[in-house]
Amino acid sequence: MCYSIPGKVVKIDGKMITVEYFGEIRKAKNEFYDLMPGQYVYAQGGFVVSTVEVKEAQELLQNWKEVFLKLKEKDLRLAREPKTLYQIANATRQKHQDNSCCVHGIIEFSNYCACDCMYCGIRKNNREIKRYRMTIDEIVKQADTAVNKLGFKALVLQSGEDPWYTEKKLLELVKKIREKCGVLIVLSIGDRPVPVYKNLYEAGAKSALIRFETANEIIYGKMKEGKKLKDRIDLINKLKEIGYLVISGFLIGLPGQTEYDLMEDIRLTGDINPEMFSFGPFIPHKGTPLAKERIPALDEVLTVIARARILYPESKIVVTTALETLDKKGGARKGLMSGANSLMINLTPEKYRDHYEIYPGRKGMEQTVEDRIAEVLKLLESIGRAPTDIGLA
């Protein structure tokens, strides 16, 4: 199983390298390896995560070549003669990002949270959910299976803001995963002091998923009592300064959010200029004060993705699981055909997965990981997308 195609190193410029995939050129950052032109690497999210023996890479590429060209052709055909907003966004994606599609795995390792965000099902004041924490050994074992058996090259490690995972424990976790796995580690652990994030970066975590949720300060203050939007933006900018490949974005459909707010949300995402944009619909959870609020329509979410793609043609945009939840059969496809070019697969062990209920009815809860992988690969094949690394803009 493979979620990334090896690329050939053609140029090295300090920490930046140029990688070629079937004649296409992409940039990637390299901090782990001593590389020479002619070597082969796997890159994810624009970061070199492992090297591959030349012979093995050439065999893989030989097997891929015909499939790759057919996928490109299909993608190009589906992007022709755009008329609607979604089709124009898809054609823009095709023109600027080609048919590359990242597939990230996500392990939700703790649903304890010290925060009380109004929209979130695992907020600390929701006493109705069963709490869990995975041990470090359990997380490492799951990561090992995901990378070395299932072929994932990027893993999001997500939790609530859980102080039980001290800096020491997180450092141990990151180091142990990097020792066993050639993978891009994406931290999604919320507010932590900048020096902690710096040490985690040095330990091997090179990406961070950290959304600002809304660009409207008033709504932000209402949703996250006691917290300020400015502090979140400062943290995101500091993570970028450290070197993290940041994934960021916002919630669509929060109470009080207007069309203007959504355009401001897109603008702020563009200003932050993250490596990947992440826009998810707000889906009310019965264990929160917002239980009776409305669920946004699928079209509202697709419109945001499409507008963001057209405004920021070089961006990478993920289809969130929340979007897939709005339309379990067709949400992923519709997101990818409206400008998105990345997907997530939930790899949380089944015994915990149901309890990470940030919103209800999450897509994929009833599927085995193997079935979900098969579904995603079938979808990508059907719309001509290839798992090459998208590379740095």
- Chain contacts with ligand SF4 (rule: CB under 6 A): 113, 115, 117, 120, 122-123, 160-161, 190, 358
Minimum separation from the CB atom of position 191 to ligand SF4 (A): 8
In terms of CB distance, is 117 or 174 closer to ligand SF4?
117
In terms of CB distance, is 147 or 251 closer to ligand SF4?
251
Distance CA 263, CA 304 (A): 8
Minimum separation from the CB atom of position 306 to ligand SF4 (A): 26
In terms of CB distance, is 123 or 363 closer to ligand SF4?
123
Structure tokens at 175: 């180091």
In terms of CB distance, is 98 or 213 closer to ligand SF4?
213
3-state secondary structure the chain: CCCCCCEEEEEEECCEEEEEECCEEEEEECCCCCCCCCCEEEEECCEEEEEECHHHHHHHHHHHHHHHHHHHHHHHHHCCCCCCHHHHHHHHHHHHHCCECEEEEEEEEECCCCCCCCCCCCCCCCCCCCCCECCHHHHHHHHHHHHHHCCCCEEEEEECCCCCCCHHHHHHHHHHHHHHCCCEEEEECCCCCHHHHHHHHHHCEEEEECCCECCCHHHHHHHCCCCCHHHHHHHHHHHHHHCCEEEEEEEECCCCCCHHHHHHHHHHHHHHCCCEEEEEECCCCCCCCCCCCCCCCHHHHHHHHHHHHHHCCCCCEEECHHHHHHCCCCHHHHHHCCCCCEEEEECCCHHHHCCCCCCCCCCCCCCCHHHHHHHHHHHHHHCCCECCCCCEC
Minimum separation from the CB atom of position 244 to ligand SF4 (A): 18
In terms of CB distance, is 129 or 295 closer to ligand SF4?
129
In terms of CB distance, is 46 or 190 closer to ligand SF4?
190
Minimum separation from the CB atom of position 360 to ligand SF4 (A): 14
Distance CA 305, CA 93 (A): 11
In terms of CB distance, is 105 or 160 closer to ligand SF4?
160
Distance CA 270, CA 311 (A): 8
Minimum separation from the CB atom of position 214 to ligand SF4 (A): 12
Minimum separation from the CB atom of position 105 to ligand SF4 (A): 19
In terms of CB distance, is 120 or 229 closer to ligand SF4?
120
Minimum separation from the CB atom of position 308 to ligand SF4 (A): 21
In terms of CB distance, is 87 or 159 closer to ligand SF4?
159
For 6, residues 6+ apart whose C-beta sits below 8 A from its C-beta are 40, 41, 42, 52, 56, 57, 60, 61
Amino acid in position 80: R
Minimum separation from the CB atom of position 131 to ligand SF4 (A): 12
Minimum separation from the CB atom of position 124 to ligand SF4 (A): 7
In terms of CB distance, is 129 or 392 closer to ligand SF4?
129
Look at strands 154-159 and 184-188 and give their pairing: parallel
Minimum separation from the CB atom of position 125 to ligand SF4 (A): 9
